[in-house]
A and B are shown apart, each in its own frame.
Chain A
Amino acid sequence: MGNITLRNVSKVFGAHAVIPSIDLNINDGEFVVFVGPSGCGKSTLLRLIAGLEDVSDGEIVIDGKNATELPPAQRGLSMVFQSYALYPHMSVRSNIGFPLKMANEDKAVIDKKVADAARVLNLTDYLDRKPRQLSGGQRQRVAIGRAIVRQPKAFLFDEPLSNLDAALRVNMRLEISQLHQDLKTTMVYVTHDQVEAMTMADKIVVLNRGRIEQVGSPLDLYHKPDNLFVAGFIGSPRMNFVSGSSATPYKAHTMGIRPEHLVLSKESGTWSGTVGVAEHLGSDTFLHVNVDDIGTMTARVSGDFAVTHGDRVFLTPDAQRVHRFDDKGLAIR
């Protein structure tokens, strides 16, 4: 129930190969996140899986059955769109019940399933409203409700939280994760927010220009990035990169060190520099240090490390946590 396999899938728009060729396996019950910079083809890939876009080449197998030529409705997948795509003239009740109505279910069955979904999603009081009378978070939940009532083999989410404010986003993130725990259905989730990717995923697929850069669990990607792109993309603030003569002692073309793995001191260290901007978050402080001969580096220190703009500081990378890359940008292990 709910494996999706992509074999050699490619997508060309006109002369522009948005997705050159992708192989990917999504296991049943997994929460897979596609993450990557804007325009890298995340939505396109999701729409290929959904059947809203035809593949140019390759095949898509859902549940062991070749679904490449199947129309969207017959793939047994549900999708939650970025704009929610609720039907504006229908009540919440009819919106959620629409897929069941299209499947010619009994009126009584529909009512029961809609009521169940509404209870799970805290929408019971809003069933008779129109979408425009709901808040962003409620609309989001209606869209999810519409997706869950027909018990799909897998859910597809395309940046579902990007229209919500920060606090609500954290909430909905938890709710979706909770939903995944409860339903244990495969979920494929597209986002460009790496915090969402790290917190929700069982497996992250990092995409860049239509290519898969790395597939792995969040901590895998954090600890063992395969290449410079993944190293720079995963982690916040992003990893510091040092190349040239300063990287030679580490036997690498480029060495990378995360801000949280730099030890700061006011007395001595490997590198020295002046403090530029200091971002105080309370518990932590992010220091942007202008390191002599290297350039700006970001370091994370605890909130009570007292420095101000213009102070001299010393930085020492934690030798265990240094990432090394060769001249092609691939990790040296």
Chain B
Amino acid sequence: MATLHTRSAARLMIAPSVLLLLAWMIVPLAMTIYFSFLRYNLLMPGMEEFAGFSNYSYFLTDPAFFQAIFNTLAIVLGVLFITVVGGIALALLLDQPMFGQGIVRILVIAPFLIMPTVAALVWKNMFMNPVNGLFAWVAKLFGLQPFDFLANAPLMSVILIVAWQWLPFATLILLTALQSLDEEQKEAAQMDGASAWSRFIYLVLPHLSRAITVVILIQTIFLLSVFAEILVTTNGGPGTQSTNLTFLVYAQALLQFDVGGASAGGIIAVILANIVAFFLMRMIGKTLEA
């Protein structure tokens, strides 16, 4: 878009979609803000009245709130760590020439195509169940006491399930990036006496930095609002041990019927997401330039 003409033409072209998107986002946001200032309980319809900031102060002073923030961050960071490290490892493996490469690659994508609810239920009932689960069976095989994952390590279990779902996405993006690495550069490094590990550190990893950034940005957006996996496995519990912000808002609105409080929570979640996005772009957005 070099000339003034092409630039204004471009603006004109994208205007409709920008306006549509804006309306799409502004209306619900405005309504949420409006609700967040009301005393609005589903059990007492027609009794709404202006409540000032009291919804916010209730939400922010709720001990569950801090637990939820911590859990949200733990899920985001935990899943990011597992998927980026695991994704790089898997991508490196899949990049090796091997028998049945095409089929293996399709199999690797499979978890991403499974609905979150289904995936979480499969994990809950077939793997992590302390009586019938695969892990329990393996534990018994070794004469160990089966571990009740969802009761004793609920947050870690949720992280594990979500990471399993997002691993294919990371692997796929990193694999395509890996394949775009110039073959001659690798050979040059080989001639320069770089070991496989040095080639990985000095050549492959910098080459992947952009793809890693994309993986982190996209996944963060989705991981901030993990919900289905928590709902069907732990229901936020025991207590609030696996409640994240999204789940807390849900509990407020549909378990305690407090729409006003939930809206306030929703707005706080939006603000927090923006803070995270801001820092994220500050930290790693630079790699996307140039």
A-to-B contact residues, CB < 8 Å? 50, 52, 71-73, 77-79, 81-83, 85-90, 98-99, 102-103, 146, 150
Among candidates A72, A82, A90, A103, residue contacting B191 with C-beta atoms closer than 8 Å: A72
Contact A52 B182 (CB under 8 A): no
Contact A77 B191 (CB under 8 A): yes
Q: Tell me how many residues of B have a C-beta within 8 Å of chain A.
A: 18
Among candidates A77, A85, A89, A150, residue contacting B188 with C-beta atoms closer than 8 Å: A85
| Interface members, chain B 203-229 (any A CB < 8 Å) | 203, 206-207, 209
State the majority secondary structure of interface residues on B: helix
Contact A99 B192 (CB under 8 A): yes
Measured CB to CB, the nearest residue on chain B to A78 is B191
Given the known interface contacts A98-B202, A99-B193, A103-B193, the answer about A81 and B188 at a Cβ–Cβ threshold of 8 Å is yes
Query: In the complex, what residues of B have CB within 8 A of residue A102's CB?
Result: 192-195, 198
Additional A-B contact list (4), CB under 8 Å, known A81-B187, A87-B202, A102-B193: A83-B182, A85-B188, A98-B194, A99-B192
Contact A87 B203 (CB under 8 A): yes
Query: In the complex, what residues of A have CB within 8 A of residue B274's CB?
Result: none
Interface string of B185-201 (1 = CB under 8 A from A): 10111111111001000
Contact A73 B192 (CB under 8 A): yes
Once the chains are docked, how many angstroms separate the CA of A198 from the CA of B206?
41
Measured CB to CB, the nearest residue on chain A to B203 is A87
Query: In the complex, what residues of A have CB within 8 A of residue B190's CB?
Result: 52, 71-73
Given the known interface contacts A85-B185, A98-B202, A102-B198, the answer about A73 and B207 at a Cβ–Cβ threshold of 8 Å is no
Measured CB to CB, the nearest residue on chain A to B185 is A85
Q: List 12 A-B contacts (CB under 8 A).
A: A52-B190, A73-B190, A73-B193, A78-B191, A81-B187, A85-B188, A87-B203, A89-B209, A98-B192, A98-B202, A102-B192, A146-B188
Q: From residue B193, how far is it (CB to closest CB) to chain A in Å?
A: 4
Among candidates A52, A78, A87, A89, residue contacting B187 with C-beta atoms closer than 8 Å: A52
B184 at the A/B interface (Cβ < 8 Å)?
yes
